[in-house]
A and B are shown apart, each in its own frame.
Chain A
């Protein structure tokens, strides 16, 4: 089963 990641895991928050 695959889990959805969010962009916060990859991109820098402001």
Chain B
């Protein structure tokens, strides 16, 4: 039997909001250590890696490893049925054909169950090599969302240029061009407002706005986002999910034709 309970269903709602624009379906791997998802968008340009540790759940039981293929749009619809303060429990039997989402109101006067059919999916786990990144940036997630949104008006892609002066995001297109520079700011009043730039080597990379604007949907999960970059390798954009895990997005760069 598999059973995982989260007092705050809002966390799971936010996780779904953070992946539903990139993925139509995904395999949820459940084991003793927790729930993991690794899935690419249909164009194989970006990859979502989600990890929810078992010790982060309020109750967690997984008697045997399960691979459950789920429709992300259906799961998203179901989670929209949860009240903001509801507790959520995911439950499946061994060799399941479906998974049940159980929502319970805070004072336990309402209990709703939604059963979702599982789907058969081909596994295509990619091997992601260990990389030491030449530039790692931590910044407020709201700021990153804003930059992606604002610069998307000017072009289809954003160039990230990191130097010892800071990081510069730029975009250009038919209407003109725009750039936004950020310098390190560790004196911010609040930790979540800090900008931390750890640069070993300067770099310049270009990424498609379309995907970046999907990644920033994870902003409500965490006040800070971490961007890890090296020349000519995919960007890693990471958001922590409270004390329970993280969501990492990988994005293949655009390179000179």
Q: Which residues of A contact B (CB under 8 A)?
A: 1-14
A14 pairs with B257, CB closer than 8 A: no
Distance, CA A9 to CA B60, complexed state (A) = 37
A6 pairs with B254, CB closer than 8 A: no
Distance, CA A6 to CA B42, complexed state (A) = 11
Interface-central residue, B40, B43, B45, B252, by most chain A CB under 10 Å:
B252
Mark out the residues of chain B between 187 and 216 whose CB falls within 8 Å of any chain A CB in the assembled complex: 206, 208
Map CB proximity to A onto B239-257 as digits: 1 under 8 Å, 0 otherwise: 0000000000010111111
* Interface status of B125 (Cβ within 8 A of chain A): yes
Interface-central residue, B126, B127, B206, by most chain A CB under 10 Å:
B126
B129 pairs with A7, CB closer than 8 A: no
Q: Can you offer 22 A-B residue contacts whose CB atoms are under 8 A? A: A2-B257, A3-B254, A3-B256, A4-B45, A4-B254, A5-B45, A5-B253, A5-B254, A7-B40, A7-B44, A7-B47, A7-B126, A7-B250, A10-B129, A11-B129, A11-B234, A12-B127, A13-B124, A14-B123, A14-B124, A14-B125, A14-B126
Q: Which residues of B contact A (CB under 8 A)?
A: 40, 43-47, 123-129, 157, 206, 208, 233-234, 250, 252-257
B157 pairs with A2, CB closer than 8 A: yes
- Prevailing SS type, chain B contact patch: loop
Q: Which of B40, B252, B256 contacts A9 (CB 8 A)?
A: B252
**Chain B neighbourhood of A4, CB < 8 A:** 45, 208, 252, 254
**Chain A neighbourhood of B45, CB < 8 A:** 4-7
Q: Which of B46, B126, B256 contacts A13 (CB 8 A)?
A: B126
CB distance from A6 to the nearest CB of B (A): 4
